[in-house]
């Protein structure tokens, strides 16, 4: 469809070009390339461990279960993302320049999709919110590479507990290596060699920041071949031979956002907690929107008793308090992450179903649907080819607006102790851990609360921007 045949609300204004969006993709691409160059050894080690796991799975599937952990999976995901993200950003940047050249050569061609995209690009606030969400999800994917500490380390809490932001502590570097719970296997053979190689790679990945054991101290001194150090009110000694380098016995580590009551780094827990909160929000919305779309399209298209039964079920579930139902399910079956995702998904699809049903009721009486029926097209073809694509606009808006509420619900459940269970970090249970000491140690709950606030507000702003971009009347006001 050409611009001269479009209504005025859809017609692009060549004099009005979106501004302020040319810097983000090149900047993000440069940052990803810097991180990739900096963490190239870890990325190569992650891919090597992945190939080793694949070979071990082919040779001896039973051996893989004893050493396969979610932590090493996180490194694989981070390595893949660190490779794919720059490639996708570079492709987008190249395609933007190619499309710009094509538009200059053939300015009369403009599709409705491009017009909607151009309208969204004019929403500066929504663009900034999208950039922030992209950064948050990138940090969540790259958590194993970006977190300065392990989120589970409770190290020398007599020294590290309840430290405010930007606290710098000294730590003695010991000669011994960090111990891990996975031992090397004994014996010989290809399977044993592959398993030991995988364990060695996993140890190197997990101890990436510092392979040697460290001991945080308040102060220390070296006299007559003995190291005397103080941890809180305790004074201890050890031979100087236990140090890795007696000439440089200690290093400084900075806790940017402070520590909690167990001496765990808040920044690391915040980064790892973003994986849980953002993943749950995305998965729940994906499942609930898909289920609601299927029910809404089926109910609106077929009508009759299918519509009556479906809508009565929707009415009952909407009338039933969702939080109360979630609490019953979690109290009955436990509170695993998977159960939380399933529970939130099956208690949030009803609104989408009613929106899609109303769209389908208005669409199925229009000429193009009647023409498809007269041509003898099957119901599935009409639904998936003609009805479902035309209901995407309200579905996309509902999805972007719902992600924020899902993240709030998950944070509330974790705050009540019914969501993700410690020591696995999520923004909600980090806030819960700091609620008893909010006045004296405010940083424990404040920073995850700010993260939740920023995420929810940004998703709502993106939803508003998508709604304005897909609404012809709003495009007409912006043009």
Nearest 5°: phi and psi at 19? -115, 155
Which fold, 266-478? MetI-like fold (1.10.3720)
Residue 102 binned pLDDT confidence (cut-offs 50, 70, 90): low
Model confidence, pTM: 0.83
> For the chain, what are the domain ranges?
3-131, 157-191+207-255, 266-478
Is pLDDT above 90 for 375? no
The pLDDT tens digits for 423-459 are: 888 898 898 888 888 888 999 999 999 999 999 899 8
CA 352 from chain centre, in angstroms, equals: 23
At 213 the three-state DSSP class reads strand
Tokens of 79: 């390595």
Q: Output the DSSP codes for 67-127.
A: T--HHHHHHHHHHHHHHHHHHHHHHHHHHHHHHHHHHHHSTT---HHHHHHHHHHT-HHHH
Residue 8 binned pLDDT confidence (cut-offs 50, 70, 90): very low
Q: Output the DSSP codes for 429-459.
A: HHHHHTGGGTTTSTHHHHHHHHHHHHHHHHH
The pLDDT tens digits for 186-231 are: 777 787 788 778 888 888 888 877 777 888 998 888 888 888 899 8
CA 242 from chain centre, in angstroms, equals: 41
For the ranges 9-18, 300-309, 345-354, the lowest mean pLDDT is seen at 9-18
More confident residue, 472 or 308: 308
Tokens of 355: 């929106």
């Amino acid at each position: 469809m050409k611009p001269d045949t479009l209504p005025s609300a859809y017609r692009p204004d060549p004099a009005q070009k979106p501004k302020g969006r040319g810097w983000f993709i090149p900047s993000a691409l440069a940052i990803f390339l810097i991180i990739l160059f900096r963490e190239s050894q870890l990325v190569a080690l992650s891919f090597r461990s992945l190939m080793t796991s694949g070979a071990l799975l082919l040779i001896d599937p039973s051996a893989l279960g004893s050493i396969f952990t979610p932590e090493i999976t996180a490194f694989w995901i981070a390595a893949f993302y660190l490779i794919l993200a720059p490639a996708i950003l570079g492709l987008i940047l190249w395609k933007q320049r190619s499309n710009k050249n094509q538009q200059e050569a053939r300015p009369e061609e403009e599709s409705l999709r491009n017009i909607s995209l151009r309208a969204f690009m004019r929403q500066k606030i929504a663009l900034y919110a999208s950039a922030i969400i992209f950064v948050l999800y990138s940090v969540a994917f790259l958590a194993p590479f970006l977190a300065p500490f392990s989120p589970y380390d409770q190290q020398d809490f007599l020294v590290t507990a309840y430290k405010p932001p930007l606290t710098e502590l000294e730590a003695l570097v010991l000669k011994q290596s960090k111990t891990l719970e996975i031992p090397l296997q004994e014996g010989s053979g290809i399977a044993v060699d592959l398993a030991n190689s995988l364990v060695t790679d996993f140890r190197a990945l997990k101890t990436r920041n510092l392979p040697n054991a460290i001991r945080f101290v308040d102060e220390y001194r070296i006299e007559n071949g003995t190291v005397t150090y103080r941890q809180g009110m305790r004074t201890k000694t050890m031979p100087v031979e236990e140090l890795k380098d007696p000439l440089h016995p200690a290093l400084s580590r900075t806790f940017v956002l402070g520590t909690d009551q167990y001496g765990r780094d808040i920044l690391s827990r915040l980064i790892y907690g973003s994986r849980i909160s953002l993943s749950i929000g995305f998965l729940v919305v994906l499942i609930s929107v898909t289920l609601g779309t299927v029910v809404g399209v089926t109910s609106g298209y077929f009508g009759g008793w299918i519509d009556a039964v479906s809508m009565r079920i929707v009415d009952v579930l909407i009338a039933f308090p969702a939080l109360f139902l979630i609490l019953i399910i979690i109290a009955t079956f436990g509170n695993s992450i998977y159960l939380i995702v399933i529970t939130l998904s099956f208690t949030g699809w009803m609104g989408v179903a009613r929106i899609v049903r109303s769209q389908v009721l208005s669409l199925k009486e229009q000429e193009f649907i009647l023409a498809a029926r007269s041509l003898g097209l099957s119901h599935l073809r009409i639904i998936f080819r003609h009805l479902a694509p035309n209901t995407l606009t309200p579905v996309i808006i509902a999805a972007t607006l719902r992600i924020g509420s899902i993240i709030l619900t998950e944070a509330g459940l974790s705050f009540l102790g019914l969501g993700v269970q410690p020591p696995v970090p999520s923004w909600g249970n980090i806030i819960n851990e700091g609620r008893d000491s909010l006045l004296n140690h405010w940083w424990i709950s404040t920073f995850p609360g700010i993260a939740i606030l920023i995420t929810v507000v940004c998703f709502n702003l993106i939803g508003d921007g998508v709604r304005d971009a897909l609404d012809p009347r709003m495009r007409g006001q912006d043009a």
